[in-house]
Structure 1
Amino acid sequence: MTDRPPKRAVLIAGATASGKSALALVLAEALGGAIINADAMQVYRDLRIVTARPTPAEEARVPHLLYGHVDAGENYSTGRWCIDASAALTAVERAGRLPIFVGGTGLYFKALTRGLAAVPPIPSQVRAAVRERLKREGIAALYAELSARDDATARRLMPADRARVTRALEVVLATGRSLTDWHTQGMKPALDPQFAVKIFLDVNRAELYQRIDCRFDAMVASGALEEVHALGKRGLDSALPAMKAHGVPWLIRHLNGEIDLPAAVDAAKRDTRRY
C-alpha cells in the first residue's frame, strides 16, 4: 500500500449556482477551515448581491478571504489574484486553519496549481490590430501566422480557439518572443495539486438551470437592481470586468430605459445558463 501525500488544501469548483459556496461553508465549519475566493467577479466590492457573494452573516461564521476587496473600477488580473491568493494561503496556514478555495474561474485554479506566465502587458494598438485582422481575415489566417512565428505554442492550441490563438499572436508580435518562452519565466505555483483535495460539483442541467433562474429572481428581490444602479452611476468603462458580471449589462440596459425588467431578467438568466 502506497503512502498518500498529506492534504493541505481543498479546491471546490463547479458551474454557477451549483452549490459551491454552501459546501465550502459546511466543510470550513466541520474541518476548521477558512474560505478563499477563486471567483473573478466576487472580488469586486460593489457587487455583493449580483455575484452571489457570501452574506455578512455567512462571512461571520468562518474566515473568508479575497471577497469584495477590489474596487469595480479596477481591472483585476489573474496575476494579481495569484499574488493575493498566495498571501491568503500562507495566512490561513499560519492561523492553523485548512485553506478551502472555492470558485468558478478555471484560470484562477490553473494559475494556483500550475503557475502563471510572466507575459508583459500587450500594447492596445497591437491588440486592436490583431482583433481587426481576425474580423477581416478569419482565425485560420491568424493560426497560420502563429504557426510560422511560434510553432511550439500553435501545436498546443486548437486552430479554431479564437481567444487563445489571438492572445498567442499578440504576445509574439508585441514582444518578439513566443508565449512558450514566457511560460518558463512566470509565477511559480502556490499550491502543488497533489497536496489538495479536488471537488467538482456536477449538477444535472435541468436542475442547474432551475437553480440559476431561482437565484437570479432572489437577487432581484434582494436588491440587485439597486446595486447595479449604484454601479452604473459611477460612469465606469463598460469594458471593465465588473461591468460584465452576469446580469449587470442587462440590468443597466433596463435602468437606461432600453428594455423592461422582465426582458432584462430573462436575458440575464439566459446568459448565465450559457456560461
Structure 2
Amino acid sequence: MLKKLIIISGPTASGKTSYSIKIADQILAESKLKPVIINFDSLLFYKELNIGTAKPTKEERGEHPHLLIDICSAKEPMNAHDYIQQAENQINSCHQAGEIPILVGGSAFYLRALIKGMYESTKVDTESKKEIDSLYKEKGIKPFIEFLESKDPDTMKILHENDHYRIIRAYEHVLQTGQPFSVERKRMEALNPYDLSSGIHEDWEIHHIYLDLPKEEHWSYITRRTRQMLEDGLVGEVEKLLSSGFTGEEKPLKSIGYIETIEYLQNKFENESEYLERISISTRQLAKSQRTFFKKITPKFSYHPIKDEEEILKNAIDFVRR
C-alpha cells in the first residue's frame, strides 16, 4: 500500500505556511488522521534566525506538530545530506504511526534531493577542508575557477562566477572522486530529476500543491512582508546576533534579509528606505529563481493562494481519503 505525502511548495512569500496549517486543520477535522508538518525551508533549521526567515510563530506551531524547525545553530549550518537523513526518518515515523506528513517549504534543491536522491560524492576529510578554506581565504575564488576551467569546463560553463559555494563543491568533488562533477550531473539528469512521480521512495504517493501569484501581485506582497519584518524587529534581531558571538560571515547570515541588515548596520545604505528596497529586490530575485526551478518540476497542482483556497483544501482532503 502506498504511503501518502502532501507537499506544499512555491516561491518565497506565497502563503505556504498559512496553507500548511489550513490543510492540517482540514485533515484533522474531516479524516481524524493526525497531520504532521515537516519543514524543507533551509533557513528555518536555525534556532537564532526568526524574523528574517518568516518562521512560523510559536502560536502557529502549537496547533500541529512542526518538525525540522529550530534543529541546529547558524554557527553549524546543515547540509542537504544531513537534512535528507532527518526528513526521511520523520516521514517514515509518520507513516508508521498512521499520520499524514505535510512537507512544506521553498528550498527546491532539498525537496528534489529528498525525492530523487543526491549526487554521489565522498565527504571531504577534515585536513583537505582546512586547506580548501585556507586557499579561499588567502586567494578568493579565482584558483577554484581556474581549476574547474581546466579539469571540469562543462560544470564551470553553468556556474556563475559569484556562486562561490557551488564552485567550491564542484572543486571538492573532483578532488575526492577524480572525476568531473559534470559526469555525476549527467547521471542525475538521466534519472529525470524534475519528475517527482518516480523517485527513491517507491512506496510514497505524493500530492504536490504549488502556490504562486502573478508577478505584480507577488512583488507587492513581498514589499509588505519586508516592511513587516522591519516593524517586527529584524534590525534588533541581527544586532543581538552580532553581539552574541556571530561575525556575519556564517553562511546563514549571508542569506536575504540578514546580509542587507548587516550592511545597514555598517551604514552602507543612505537611509531605511534604500535598505528596505534592497531586501525587497533580493527577495524578488530569489522568488524568480525558485519559480524557474519549480516550473520544471512535475507533477504538481498549481494554485493561486488567494483565489483557489476552496479547491486547494478540497483536493488535499480528497487525496487523504482515497
Q: Distance in 1 between matches of 2:171 and 2:202?
A: 30
Letter in 1 for 2:246: L
Aligned equivalent of 1:145, options 129, 141, 151: 151
Aligned equivalent of 1:200, options 210, 224, 228: 210
Partner of 2:65: 63
Pairing of 1:171-190 with structure 2 (within 5 A):
171-179=173-181, 180=183
Q: Distance in 2 between matches of 1:55 and 1:124?
A: 38
Q: Is the 8 A contact 1:13 1:102 kept in 2?
A: yes
The answer to whether structure 1 residue 232 and structure 2 residue 242 are counterparts is: yes
Q: Distance in 2 between matches of 1:207 and 1:134?
A: 41
Partner of 1:109: 111
Q: Is the 8 A contact 1:36 1:99 kept in 2?
A: yes
The answer to whether structure 1 residue 210 and structure 2 residue 220 are counterparts is: yes
Q: TM-score under structure 2 normalisation?
A: 0.70
Alignment CA distance shift 1:231-1:12 (3 Å): same
Q: Is the 8 A contact 1:86 1:190 kept in 2?
A: no
Q: Distance in 1 between matches of 2:203 and 2:95?
A: 16
Q: Is the 8 A contact 2:8 2:16 kept in 1?
A: yes
Letter in 1 for 2:158: A
Letter in 1 for 2:220: Q
- CA RMSD in angstroms, aligned pairs only: 2.9
Partner of 2:158: 160
Any unmatched runs of 5+ in structure 2?
29-34, 189-198, 287-322
The answer to whether structure 1 residue 269 and structure 2 residue 302 are counterparts is: no
Judge which range, 74-83 or 239-248, deviates more: 239-248
The answer to whether structure 1 residue 52 and structure 2 residue 54 are counterparts is: yes
Judge which range, 219-228 or 124-133, deviates more: 124-133
Q: Percent identity?
A: 27
Partner of 2:261: 251
Give the aligned length: 255
Q: Distance in 1 between matches of 2:156 and 2:210?
A: 25
Deviation at 1:23, TM superposition (A): 1.2
Q: Distance in 2 between matches of 1:76 and 1:66?
A: 11
Q: Is the 8 A contact 1:7 1:197 kept in 2?
A: no
Aligned equivalent of 2:82, options 69, 80, 98: 80
Q: Distance in 1 between matches of 2:210 and 2:149?
A: 33
Deviation at 1:19, TM superposition (A): 1.0
